[in-house]
């Protein structure tokens, strides 16, 4: 579950939008799948730097199609999106 301290959309230097879902972990991926998002789940984060350094715990099918896998860092995944 993402901390309630961290929510919203975050731009990156390449002007991509990094969307953060604040829900139960099960519903994050389920919701992202329904929306057709390329999304990843990280746990135990409280800042954007934490998101970048955390290991990916789950991914959507669209993220898998981009080559994103569980165990990568958030930074690695974001660079592939």
Q: Domain locations in the chain?
A: 8-80
For residues 29-38, average pLDDT: 85
**What pLDDT does residue 47 have?**
84
Residue 4 has pLDDT above 60, yes or no: no
For residues 7-28, average pLDDT: 52
Overall fold of domain 8-80 = Hypothetical protein Ta1206 fold (3.30.1980)
Quote the CA–CA distance of 40 and 58 in Å, as a whole number: 6
For residues 22-37, average pLDDT: 75
Against a cut of 0.75, is the pTM above it?
Answer: no
3: number of Cβ within 10 Å: 14
């Amino acid at each position: 579950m993402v901390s309630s301290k961290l929510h919203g959309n975050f731009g990156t230097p390449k002007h991509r939008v990094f969307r953060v879902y604040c829900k139960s972990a099960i519903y994050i991926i389920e919701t992202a799948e329904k929306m057709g998002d390329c999304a990843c789940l990280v746990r135990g984060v409280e800042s954007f730097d934490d998101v970048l350094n955390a290991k990916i715990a789950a991914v959507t099918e669209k993220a898998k199609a981009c080559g994103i896998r569980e165990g990568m860092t958030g930074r690695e995944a974001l660079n592939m999106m």
